[in-house]
Amino acid sequence: MIIDVHAHCGSWYFPSEITESAQVSKLCDIHDIHRIVFSSSLAILYDMVEGNHQTSKFIEEDERFRGYVYLDPSQAQRSGEEIARYEDNLSFVGFKMHPSYSGENPDSQNTFEMMERLPDGAKILIHTWAPDGVKSVCRLASRFPHLSIIMGHMGGTQERDWRAGIEGARVTPNTYLEICGSLLHRDRIADAVKAIGSERILYGSDTTLISPAWSIGQVMGSNIRDEDRRNILFDNATRLFEFT
């Protein structure tokens, strides 16, 4: 079984064959995905409030679906309202940030103030790109050690990016590396396992932008132990999110 911690619901700004919940359910059947966690494309690109509402409806369509509440530090009041709106909805299991679209770095004062509103133990998936992005995320994680910070894309697709992500995770114990991406290096996952162990590496696919098969192939083709594969594909996310 697999747990996918990085997925999107709704249309992106390029063609996609998979947009409807029934289509995603079929993907879950094909790839034995036990849980899959979505953030809203609309929330990231245009309308945070309506996008989160769409996520809340989308994740009702399949018992395997869970959601992230998307937060935008440049909209502090609205983000606070979104945190409160969904705090009792158990189908939302964490939060999502995308600094490239919000225009706010993870270590900005606005972001810090927004993080103060989150409950202890909250999980935040952050789109993390390039060495400077990794440093910014790690500064956030160091300031809030009671939060679990997931570095989306492991820091990026170029070697300098993901190696920065690995080093950031090595020195920042409340961070996790999430593996999805497009053009990826063969040794990326194996090198991460060597550096930090497999217990803080999480499977993600970027569905519905990218097929789950792409990231599954990365894990299965990496020079790591079967125990490490189980950790990455299922066990780590089960522990982190307390999935049943």
**Interatomic CA distance for residues 128 and 178, integer angstroms:** 10
Task: Specify the pLDDT at position 31.
Answer: 98
| Token output for 31 | 């790839």
213 neighbors 233 (Cβ within 8 angstroms): no
| Structural domain span for residue 168 | 2-241
Tell me the HSE value of 122 on the side-chain side, using a 13 A CA sphere. 21
Alpha-carbon distance 189 to 224, whole Å?
8
Residues near 101 by beta carbon (within 8 Å), at least 6 away in sequence: 44, 45
Span 90-132, pLDDT tens digits:
999 999 999 999 999 999 999 999 999 999 999 999 999 999 9
Packed helices 159-171 and 188-196: angle between N→C axes, nearest 10 degrees: 20
The C-alpha atoms of residue 244 and residue 237 are separated, in whole angstroms, by 11
pLDDT of residue 63: 98
pLDDT of residue 113: 96
* Number of domains comprising the chain: 1
Q: What is the CATH number of the domain that holds 69?
A: 3.20.20.140
Would you state the pLDDT for residue 150? 99
Give dist(CA 19, CA 8) in Å, integer. 9
The list of the chain residues with pLDDT below 50 reads none
Q: State the pTM of this model.
A: 0.97
C-alpha distances out from residue 114 to 1, 74, 76, 111, Å: 35, 10, 7, 5
Q: What is the pLDDT of residue 184?
A: 86
